[in-house]
Amino acid sequence: MIFIGYVLSGLIAAAIMFIGSRFLWGPAVASREFGIPDSPQPSGGFIGWLAAKGMRDIVSGLFVCLLMANGSPRLLGDFLLVASLIPLGDATIVLRTGGSRAVAFGIHGSAALAIIAAAACLIGGAS
């Protein structure tokens, strides 16, 4: 169970770092695909905000890597459980702004479920 949790954690870390890099290197596409309707075309100031979001995603992925290297499945699981609030919040934001339910639940909701599943494997296996 712990092995599955670590595999999922590695995939989650890679995915969030990839998503973060998209906000740095392709902010217009990344912004559009986040799911908020009528997002403005990236301008100088908006690109700065998107870059800040991208850096935070990359660092979040690095936190997962750091905790994986630490070798404490319980701590990694607890961290992931708290971190699952990020995609849940993203889904809520997409829904509150009139975005697509498919994006809110399909992208952000499924990300939250994957993170919760990894956390459950780690916490359950560590007990």
Measured in whole angstroms, the distance separating CA 43 from the mean position of its chain's CA atoms is 24
Q: What is the 3-state secondary structure (H, E, C) of the chain?
A: CHHHHHHHHHHHHHHHHHHHHHHHHCHHHHHHHHCCCCCCCCCHHHHHHHHHHHHHHHHHHHHHHHHHHHCCHHHHHHHHHHHCHHHHHHHHHHHHCCCCHHHHHHHHHHHHHHHHHHHHHHHHHHC
Handedness of CA 117, 121, 126, 127 (dihedral sign): positive
| pLDDT of the residue at 85 | 97
Between the two ends of the chain, the Cα-to-Cα distance in Å is: 11
Q: pLDDT band for position 110 (50/70/90)?
A: very high
Query: What are the pLDDT digits (tens) for 80-95?
Result: 999 999 999 999 999 9
24-56 pLDDT, tens digit per residue, is 999 988 888 898 888 888 788 889 999 999 999
- The single residue listed with the structure tokens 């909701």 is 109
